[in-house]
Structure 1
Amino acid sequence: MNRNMSIIGVPMDLGQSRRGVDMGPSAIRYAGVVEKLERLQFDVNDLGDITINRPDSKNDKQEGNLRNLPQVAEGNQKLAEMVDQEIEKDRFPLVLGGDHSIAIGSLAGISKHYENLGVIWYDAHGDLNSGETSPSGNIHGMPLAVSLGIGHEKLTNMLDYQPKIKPENIVIVGARSLDPGEKDLIKEKGIKVYSMHEIDRMGMTKVMAETIDYLKDRTDGVHLSLDFDGLDPSEAPGVGTPVLGGMTYRESHLAMEMLAESDILTSAEFVEVNPILDDKNKTATVAVGLMGSLFGEKLK
């Protein structure tokens, strides 16, 4: 793994409707992420937070079924450009959210450097909606679809190319809340999904071994997009869309440790930490602990 790392904070809360997730990057920093990574011998360059402009409620009109589209697109454009620049400098981009709509910018900036970028989507949700299928109009439920080229062109055509990823290079881990349109798209595109049913039956060791084996030969880089609602709310309470019956802290550490051992990751993002909904910054502390495992921390 590249030991030169750039941290980019994206205080985005416009891809959904609950305030507070814009403070996620600050909460993760407060929980000690930079110190943790430096102890693991990474050369860390914290680039601070991207500026996210607020909508003007008087003048902004909702475009179709897409909440805050101009601001979400603008913020992701800035992120895509920053991520692109850091990869050009041969640095590992670590993106801190913010809501999951920021994956649109992350993947736009990352994927242009790879022929076959693999994506591990560690999440309770598929995030495969579009304006036509979304029950809410929240763009944080759309980034994976957008990255496949499905959705509004202000989002799909970021950095002037699409699609960013191929359906056969995606693995969703931990799904347990999928909308009807997402289920249809998963079947249509043949996207590999390990739901909580598979994790319970097979165990996390087998799920991650299969995920790593599936991606390592077909991809030339792998991006981890980890949404903290993938974990059970008892373990990560500070998220905007909690879903009961999620992955445990220990299962998640194991998954991160196996990814570290596989040495296939080339970028990562951690999203949806909302300190307003949290208990004494517990979720951000969990985030830093999982990053430790992902980036090689060992007990012995």
Structure 2
Amino acid sequence: MSGPVTPVRVVIVHWNQPEECVATVDQLLYGSLPVRVTVVDNASERTARAELGAGLAERIDERLVEIIDAPTNLGFGPGANLGLRAFLERTDEGDWVFLAPHDVQVAEDTIETILAAAAAVPTAGLCCGDVGDSMVPVIDPYFGGMVVPGGDRPGWEPVDYPHGTLMGLRRQCLEEVGLFDERFFSYCEEADLALRARRAGWQIGLVRGAFATNRGLGSRVWTVDYLQTRNTLLLVQEHSGWYHALVRICFTLVQIVRGTISPGTRPPVFDASARLAGIRDFFRRRFGPPPPR
């Protein structure tokens, strides 16, 4: 007779959306596998933090959930690191930890499906769920992380990096390659971690049919465009070199000019001043949180 199943640890990074976070926790707790949840609160406003604590009080009493309070808004990657370090310190919690934002929505069997697929790949180090768009994340040496059309067969599909909607991270992989680089604050940290993992011999995959979605853009356009610009340059420079980063800068400057002259050519997330600030701070080596606005 087999013994009880070891609960799977899930780390959720939360900021100022207590109702969504509580709903996400409940959804995870009542899935097909037992889980334990670590909520990292990224210095939410006082009322939001109080609502979060009240909403999760019963689960905390039952030792199904714990809250780790960050001293400031650390961003997604550094906030996640608080929960991941706690997982690594608990050597009895299994081989895998999952990471998600506070608004992730999963199917009842999403985590179970991901773990089953990863079990068939002995060197699986990082993986993610399926957001339902039939795309796969790839890393271009000049342009960083992007998505391209992928397959539609259920199961493990190799990718360059896992998206952050619901990510699985293997204990041994984290112990070998480290946690998220905290210079990124938010955006591109998954790609950086994946590149380090791949160099160490780990495989990265997306599990088709293990559905996980979230609401998407949760910050102002200026902040998102600034972080994406600055962090993509950091990612490209760190892993491909300065020549590739300079090519990326030239491309970004062309986008800024074209988007300013012809607004109809702008991508969905576009702010010329944010992109210029991102380039400036990349050269200044100013990383971490975005500048105040």
TM-score normalised by the chain length of structure 1: 0.30
Larger proportion of strand: 2
Which structure has the larger Rg? 2
* Structure number with higher relative contact order (C-alpha < 8 Å, ≥ 6 residues apart): 1
